[in-house]
A and B are shown apart, each in its own frame.
Chain A
Amino acid sequence: MNGPHDLGGMQSMGAIPIEENEPIFHSEWEAKVFAMSFATFGNFFTVDETRHASERMPPGKYLSSSYYERWLFALELLLTEHSLVSSAEIEEKIAELSQSNELS
């Protein structure tokens, strides 16, 4: 697919963002997205299927998302496409968690 991921030779991407003393993950959610993806590699999806899922992100969104945001998109896309989790279930769970956050 001639998607936004096929970046070789594209110009105007700016300087290489070199970060000193970089942590492995920049936040807990990044670690969780990584681990949930890893835990489904092979068992539920082929690794190439997960790569392709992130490539299917709309180009504007792909190019304005961080690395783990793209992983999250791919994970959610595959979970819903394979009917393992529905979008409605995700939204319900978000509502439930944010309510219990407000109460606490």
Chain B
Amino acid sequence: MAIETSNECMSAEAARAILDNGLNCRVNCDIPPQFQVGELVRAKVTHPKTYTRLPRYVRGKVGNIMKDYGVYVFPDTVGQRLSTKPQHVYSVRFAAQEVWGKEASANDALYVDLFDDHLEKV
């Protein structure tokens, strides 16, 4: 189901409303999370030729789910106008050394927002 846009000219009043209120990307629905806080996950090794918000530097790396931010529309499919495909977004913590090796500081970490479809169980 393709995403349709209104194709209406944005008036100054409409611009004001969007500036003040923004565009909501959160979806209020009970889609169960695929992962739990505290769980170890792996960012998928995948190289889609289309739009994705899964950066290359974490693909194949193992991280820890720190927080479940709730259900949001999925940019990877929204960017192609395919569907909103709502799913959970998590804050995933990757140790700097997991991503960059021993040259990175042992104390440091990367926190990346990833969606259910970006992750797999370890």
Contact = CB atoms under 8 A, between A and B. Distances in A.
Query: Does chain A touch chain B in the assembled complex, meaning CB atoms less than 8 Å apart?
Result: yes
Given A8-B56, A47-B23, A48-B78, A1 B48 contact: yes
A32 interface: no
A93 interface: no
A42 B5 contact: yes
A85 to B, nearest CB: 13
B52 interface: yes
Q: Interface majority SS on B: helix, strand, loop or mixed? A: loop
Size band of the interface chain B makes with A: 20 to 34
Given A39-B9, A42-B5, A45-B5, 15 more contacts: A1-B52, A2-B47, A9-B56, A9-B57, A9-B99, A38-B15, A41-B18, A43-B7, A44-B7, A46-B5, A46-B78, A46-B81, A49-B78, A51-B75, A55-B51
